[in-house]
Structure 1
């Protein structure tokens, strides 16, 4: 079970990271963009660390408080939830 959770988190974080890079490229080329709702949704689904790394590396959405503050808050909530799950259920 733990292996499945780790695999899921790796995949969703890589996806979040890639989405920030793709959206940045599309923004530069004035093309169709990935919605902010989708970017935040991927972070909420466990990809917050990948989203933060993508935001920092690609310098994308760094001036938007929804992302510059919101993503670290999501990560903090997920970390607390993981600690609680580990202590209560041994996951």
Structure 2
């Protein structure tokens, strides 16, 4: 499980980097659904690092709202798994 989380966070971080570079060059972008899906699969830390280090998607309120929802879902799931498993 630890290896999976390390890999998915690294992938998410790199995808945020690639999307930021594409945005700067006005090229075809990576969809927000892809970014959010990677975060939902466990890449939240990599996504947050990518957002702040590359200053990417930090001013887009709709994206931040969806990210917040994903974060809350993950916290609730961790609570229930820790409590009942």
Q: TM-score range by the shorter chain?
A: 0.7 to 0.9
CA distance in 2, matches of 1:72, 1:8: 22
1:14 maps to: 10
Structure 1 portions without partners, runs of 5+: none
Give the C-alpha shift of residue 62 in structure 1: 0.9
**Where does structure 1 differ by over 2 angstroms across 4 or more consecutive aligned residues?**
66-70
Choose the corresponding residue for 1:38, options 18, 34, 40.
34
The number of residues matched between the two structures is: 85
Give the C-alpha shift of residue 36 in structure 1: 0.9
Structure 2 portions without partners, runs of 5+: none
TM-score by length of 1: 0.82
TM-score by length of 2: 0.87
Distance 1:72 1:49, change over 3 A: farther
Where do 1:51-66 residues align within 5 Å? 51-66=47-62
Root-mean-square deviation (CA, aligned residues, Å) is: 1.4
